[in-house]
């Protein structure tokens, strides 16, 4: 054995860990499909005119140890000060039992959105708990399962208000001038698109306007707590909808906004055990009155039953969603913040109502002590009631300057509102010693205040000394459901989390071939850095000189993404793919405006587009015109040419997906870009399919102007059971001045006067280390090979299955791109077996179903990704063939159409112990152990097939009463 040092080093690289099939497997697969090499296959699939002439230049691949140590250098440049900035982001202790068993556990973070609820009952229960927490604390009847952040939730609240308000003629949305500035910013961006007038002023003056809705904040940005019951009543008399932004921790103690009459309540659940992460990801909660249920944004988990009548959970009222209603959808939310909602709900489960109360009361007590000490020294407070936030005003400019110097020396950040105003927000992590430090920073070293003495004095004084007077206190009980009252020991908690995890199929069990979702490896080495305090514990509005590590991370990642996309600049703000679409369309809109062409508002969208495309176009205030696809799944050029000419004067843009959602590299894509440009339009290329482009072609090279990237698809951020995600956009230079800006932080692009699309300047910055590591570890060689192996895997499956199921679309040389669509309609016609039956039967074989009925009804779209090895792919192919043989038995009449392993799938343990099973025409073994491979690693669906219609007719979206468990 002789090898050079270079060869030894190369063997140690991450590439062979990320890419599933090893060299021998790749060779066998290439052979099976008739290609001589990866390059040969690529040349067969991707038209020459579209292929990049040279390699990407994103660096050399490296080993995991090297990758970690180089990111460590970057992390060390972040200087983590203790944060009292508040403004929606607070210090929190992530309970270790949740950190390790949820955030750092692939059983939780690699799952997808629960499209197959029979194998997702665990996370569905966790989200249902989140809804219960939201409802209990806000005092409203119905909660959604998580939105992206507080500020986008505010704009969803505004949109809901417009939909449901009876003040049909009114066009004003009134925003109290004491809401967070970044919330207002995101609202203004959205309102401009909708043509709403936003009026900002003192809350009490809202009644003077003809308005359809109003937004109040409780507690407000200064920490003040006001009872808004009378105001809300007066606004209701004007038929306005009242939305209230609220803080979850304060609501543990405060009278709920629901009790005050609010129609919608929303806010961030970050401080329930989710690190600040320099802005995210965190889940926003959103609650409303029951009568507004059909207008709710985002997903709602509801209770239904399975075919045995057993209680079962699933996503409720899906028909309200963007993928069904397209440009008529309530919102464009697709990926949300499920993992973080789950963390917050587990935080509530672990602490229970009493634990939460203790945490909240301690925060209040420390704030009381801080206030009383400062006031005793003559400091004036702007607010006379508080939970955790004090605003010091007025101070002299000299005081503020001196305080800033002392704060810096003590390594703490205060909220600097102006030259004469400071804010301090305490949180769960604040200790007694911190109050001394704060006294020193604010008053100078010579103060003689003693926390214990102040505490005694407060206890002896009347209750009125507290920041929350009696009349503002919550009197109704919270979190009375047993789930929140039985898991306070770590052992119980650990087992509860595990019990739920066991019900869910995630990537740590088997491949999840959901087409368009790119369920690739989320490597541990990529994930580790998100838990590092240097990344996890930074406040998004901390001074930039403390966040130099993040600045470098964002800059280097942006540079790589510029190379990969062929664009000129990257905007990191959007925190999901759909938000990226919205942000990209806004840039197009502003670009047209800058050229005095604001009348250009038509957005062409091919029939085959993902539902978020039309939904986002509608949010951006554009008019959607749908164009046809031909029988091969390509954009119908005749129809497109005709529509582009017809709409030429008013054409804003086209939204296309490449390779198309049909899984084909359309040869005409460059011609499409040219055609749209000739008519003065811009090209938005949906980047969800970048996993078929990286290193081979690019949106910029093809001729598009702007794209979002789903970092949670192509660039290894895990899907978290439905989120988080990151949807940065790449733009050509002419659009760069028009991307999102931010009121609080300079984002570095020439556009800080532009409105924001997210609460935080760099969106969910806390998960960017994952994509950074992905590109760093793989290098140019690895990211390019990933694309090629993704295509190899898809073509191998397509080839192997094509004699059993028709492949709906193929491109050049009968190849597919990185995914393939099985057409099940002929089989359904012949046998009566539906795509749903096949999807559920796959669960019995231990697999998650591929994407069902998108982009064509009656089909399955399979995307294996490069991370699946030949062994796993063969197992999947065997399962699909075995299922085809089962269908044959239905076709031939051997099994009746209404009693066979397909229509009865998935099978549960309940089935197996049911004596009535004996009457079925197939055996128990056939039901649950159809192959030897299944026996070796059985996954048991925890419920039988779920009845969606029953659940929607009997809508129930809260934790189930305990007697139902009996």
Ligand X SMILES: *Cc1c(COP(=O)(O)O)cnc(C)c1O
Min separation Cβ 575 and ligand X, Å: 9
Is 138 or 613 the residue whose CB approaches ligand X more closely?
613
Is 359 or 615 the residue whose CB approaches ligand X more closely?
615
Is 300 or 959 the residue whose CB approaches ligand X more closely?
300
- As a whole number of Å, the CA-based R_g of the chain is 28
Min separation Cβ 712 and ligand X, Å: 6
Chain positions contacting ligand X, by CB under 6 A: 334-335, 516, 576-578, 610, 612, 657, 661, 686, 688, 710, 725, 727
Residue 927 tokens, joined:
């039901």
Min separation Cβ 661 and ligand X, Å: 6
Q: What's the start-to-end Cα distance of the chain, in Å?
A: 66
Min separation Cβ 585 and ligand X, Å: 13
Min separation Cβ 719 and ligand X, Å: 9
Is 415 or 708 the residue whose CB approaches ligand X more closely?
708
Taking the CB of residue 6, how many other CB atoms lie within 10 A of it?
8
851-852: strand order across its sheet: 820-823, 859-862, 851-852
Q: Give yes or no for a contact between 959 and 483, defined as CB atoms under 8 angstroms apart.
A: yes
Min separation Cβ 663 and ligand X, Å: 11
Min separation Cβ 25 and ligand X, Å: 27
State the Cα–Cα distance between residues 322 and 862, nearest whole angstrom: 22
State the Cα–Cα distance between residues 56 and 783, nearest whole angstrom: 9
Q: Beta-strand (E) ranges in 377-462?
A: 389-392, 412-413, 415-418, 421-425
Min separation Cβ 646 and ligand X, Å: 26
Q: How far is CA 670 from the centre of its chain?
A: 32
Min separation Cβ 329 and ligand X, Å: 12
**DSSP per-residue codes, 291-322:** GGGGG--S--EEEEEETTS-EEEEE--GGGSH
Is 153 or 903 the residue whose CB approaches ligand X more closely?
153
Is 657 or 799 the residue whose CB approaches ligand X more closely?
657
Q: Is the dihedral of CA 617, 294, 243, 237 positive or negative?
A: positive
DSSP code at position 854: S
Is 329 or 334 the residue whose CB approaches ligand X more closely?
334
Give me the helices (H) in 749-862, please. Answer: 768-801, 825-831, 835-844
- Please, which residues bridge with residue 78 across strands? 547
DSSP code at position 105: -
List CB contacts of 165: < 8 A, sequence separation 6 or more. 212, 213, 239, 240, 241
Min separation Cβ 616 and ligand X, Å: 9
Is 148 or 497 the residue whose CB approaches ligand X more closely?
148
- Please, which residues bridge with residue 83 across strands? 413
Is 391 or 573 the residue whose CB approaches ligand X more closely?
573
Is 389 or 771 the residue whose CB approaches ligand X more closely?
771
List CB contacts of 487: < 8 A, sequence separation 6 or more. 349, 350, 352, 493, 496
Residue 795 tokens, joined:
């073509």
State the Cα–Cα distance between residues 243 and 264, nearest whole angstrom: 5
Q: Give yes or no for a contact between 278 and 918, defined as CB atoms under 8 angstroms apart.
A: no
- Residue 738: C-alpha distances to residues 473, 589, 593, 594 (Å): 46, 9, 10, 9
Min separation Cβ 655 and ligand X, Å: 9
**DSSP per-residue codes, 330-399:** S----S--HHHHHHHHHHHHHHHHHHHHHHHHHHHHHHHHHHHHHHHTTPPBS-SS-SSEEEE-S--HHH
DSSP code at position 256: P
Min separation Cβ 861 and ligand X, Å: 10
- Residue 374: C-alpha distances to residues 82, 87, 366, 436, 725 (Å): 20, 21, 12, 11, 42
Place of tokens 């899907």: 719
Residue 901 tokens, joined:
């392993």
197-201: strand order across its sheet: 142-143, 284-288, 264-268, 241-246, 211-218, 172-176, 197-201
State the Cα–Cα distance between residues 438 and 407, nearest whole angstrom: 8
- Residue 942: C-alpha distances to residues 721, 906, 910 (Å): 17, 9, 9
Min separation Cβ 123 and ligand X, Å: 16
Min separation Cβ 710 and ligand X, Å: 5
Q: What angle do CA 165, 959, 285 make, to 5 degrees?
A: 45
State the Cα–Cα distance between residues 387 and 248, nearest whole angstrom: 11
Min separation Cβ 66 and ligand X, Å: 31
Is 231 or 690 the residue whose CB approaches ligand X more closely?
690
Min separation Cβ 95 and ligand X, Å: 28
Min separation Cβ 860 and ligand X, Å: 15
Nearest residue to the partner ligand X, using Cβ: 577
Is 600 or 712 the residue whose CB approaches ligand X more closely?
712
State the Cα–Cα distance between residues 10 and 23, nearest whole angstrom: 14
List CB contacts of 554: < 8 A, sequence separation 6 or more. 572, 762, 765, 768
């Amino acid at each position: 054995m002789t090898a050079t040092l270079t060869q030894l080093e190369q063997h140690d690289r991450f590439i062979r860990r990320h890419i599933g099939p090893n060299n021998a497997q790749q060779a066998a697969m290439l052979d099976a499909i008739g290609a001589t090499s990866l390059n040969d296959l690529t040349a067969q699939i991707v038209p020459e005119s579209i292929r990049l002439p040279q390699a990407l230049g994103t660096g050399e691949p490296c080993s995991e140890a090297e990758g970690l140590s180089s990111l460590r250098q970057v992390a060390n440049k972040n200087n983590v000060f203790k944060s009292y900035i508040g403004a929606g982001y607070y210090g929190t202790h992530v309970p270790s039992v949740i950190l390790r068993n949820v955030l750092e556990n692939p059983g939780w973070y690699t799952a997808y959105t629960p499209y197959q609820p029979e194998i997702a009952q665990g996370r569905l229960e966790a989200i249902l708990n989140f809804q219960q927490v939201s409802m209990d604390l806000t005092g409203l009847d119905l909660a959604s399962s998580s939105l992206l952040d507080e500020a986008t939730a505010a704009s969803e609240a505004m949109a809901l208000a417009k939909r449901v308000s009876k003040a049909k003629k009114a066009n004003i949305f009134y925003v109290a001038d004491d809401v967070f500035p970044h919330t207002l910013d995101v609202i203004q961006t959205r309102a401009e698109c909708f043509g709403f007038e936003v009026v900002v002023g003192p809350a009490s003056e809202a009644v003077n306007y003809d308005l359809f809705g109003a937004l109040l904040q409780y507690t407000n940005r200064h920490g003040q707590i006001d009872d808004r019951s009378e105001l809300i009543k007066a606004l209701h008399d004007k038929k306005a909808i009242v939305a209230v932004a609220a803080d979850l921790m304060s609501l543990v103690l405060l009278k709920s906004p629901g009790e005050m009459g609010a129609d919608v309540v929303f806010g961030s659940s970050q401080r329930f055990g989710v690190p600040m992460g320099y802005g995210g990801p965190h889940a926003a909660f959103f609650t409303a009155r029951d009568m507004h249920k059909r207008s709710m944004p985002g997903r709602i988990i509801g209770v239904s039953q399975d075919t045995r009548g057993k209680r079962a959970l699933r996503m409720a009222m899906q028909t309200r969603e963007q993928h069904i209603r397209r440009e008529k959808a309530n919102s464009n939310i697709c990926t949300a913040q499920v993992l973080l909602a789950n963390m917050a709900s587990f935080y509530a489960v672990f602490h229970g109502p009493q634990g939460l109360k203790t945490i909240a009361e301690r925060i209040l007590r420390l704030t009381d002590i801080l206030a009383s000490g400062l006031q005793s020294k003559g400091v004036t407070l702007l607010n006379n009631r508080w939970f955790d936030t004090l605003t010091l005003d007025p101070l002299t400019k000299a005081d503020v300057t001196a305080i800033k110097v002392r704060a810096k020396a003590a390594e703490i950040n205060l909220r600097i509102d102006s030259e004469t105003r400071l804010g301090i927000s305490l949180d769960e992590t604040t200790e007694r010693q911190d109050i001394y430090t704060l006294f020193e920073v604010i008053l100078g070293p010579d103060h003689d205040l003693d926390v214990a003495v102040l505490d005694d004095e407060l206890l002896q004084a009347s209750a009125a000394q507290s920041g929350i007077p009696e009349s503002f206190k919550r009197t109704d009980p919270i979190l009375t459901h047993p789930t929140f009252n039985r898991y306070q020991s770590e052992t119980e908690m650990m087992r509860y989390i595990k019990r739920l995890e066991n019900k869910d199929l995630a990537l740590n069990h088997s491949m999840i071939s959901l087409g368009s979702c790119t369920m690739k490896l989320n490597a541990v080495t990529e994930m580790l850095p998100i838990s590092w305090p240097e990344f996890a514990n930074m406040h998004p509005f901390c001074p930039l000189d403390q966040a130099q590590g993040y600045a470098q991370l964002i800059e280097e990642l942006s540079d790589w993404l510029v190379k990969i996309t062929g664009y000129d600049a990257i905007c990191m703000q959007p925190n999901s793919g759909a938000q990226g679409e919205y942000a990209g369309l806004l840039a197009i809109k502003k670009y047209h405006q800058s050229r005095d062409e604001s009348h250009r508002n038509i957005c062409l969208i091919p029939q085959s587009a993902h539902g978020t495309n039309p939904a986002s176009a509608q949010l951006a205030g554009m008019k959607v015109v749908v164009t046809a696809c031909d029988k091969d799944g390509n954009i119908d050029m005749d129809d497109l040419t005709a529509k582009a000419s017809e709409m030429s004067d008013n054409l804003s843009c086209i939204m296309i997906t490449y390779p198309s959602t049909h899984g084909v590299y359309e040869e005409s894509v460059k011609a499409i870009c040219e055609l749209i440009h000739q008519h003065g339009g811009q090209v938005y290329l949906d980047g969800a399919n970048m996993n078929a482009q990286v290193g081979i072609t690019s949106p910029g090279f093809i001729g598009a102007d702007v794209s979002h990237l789903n970092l949670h698809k192509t660039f290894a951020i895990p899907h978290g059971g439905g989120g988080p995600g990151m949807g940065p956009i790449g733009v050509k230079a002419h659009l760069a001045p028009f991307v999102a800006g931010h009121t609080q932080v300079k984002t570095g692009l020439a556009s800080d006067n532009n409105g924001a699309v997210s609460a935080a300047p760099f969106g969910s910055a806390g998960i960017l280390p994952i994509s950074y590591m992905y590109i760093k570890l793989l290098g140019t060689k690895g990211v390019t090979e990933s694309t090629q192996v993704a295509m190899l895997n898809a073509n191998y499956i397509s080839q192997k299955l094509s004699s059993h199921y028709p492949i709906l679309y193929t491109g050049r040389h009968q190849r597919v791109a990185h995914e393939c669509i099985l057409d099940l309609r002929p089989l359904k016609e012949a046998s009566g077996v539906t795509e749903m039956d096949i999807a559920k039967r796959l669960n019995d074989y231990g697999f998650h179903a591929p994407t069902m009925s998108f982009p064509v009804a009656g089909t399955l779209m399979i995307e294996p990704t490069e991370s699946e090895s030949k062994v796993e792919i063969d197992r999947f192919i065997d399962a699909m063939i075995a299922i085809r043989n089962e269908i044959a038995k239905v076709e031939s009449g051997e099994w009746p159409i209404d009693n066979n392993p397909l229509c009865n799938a998935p099978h549960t343990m309940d089935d197996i112990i049911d004596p009535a099973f004996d009457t079925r025409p197939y055996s128990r073994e056939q039901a649950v152990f159809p192959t030897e491979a299944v026996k070796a690693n059985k996954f048991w669906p925890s419920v039988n097939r779920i009845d969606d219609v029953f659940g929607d007719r009997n809508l129930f979206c809260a934790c189930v009463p305990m007697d139902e468990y009996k």
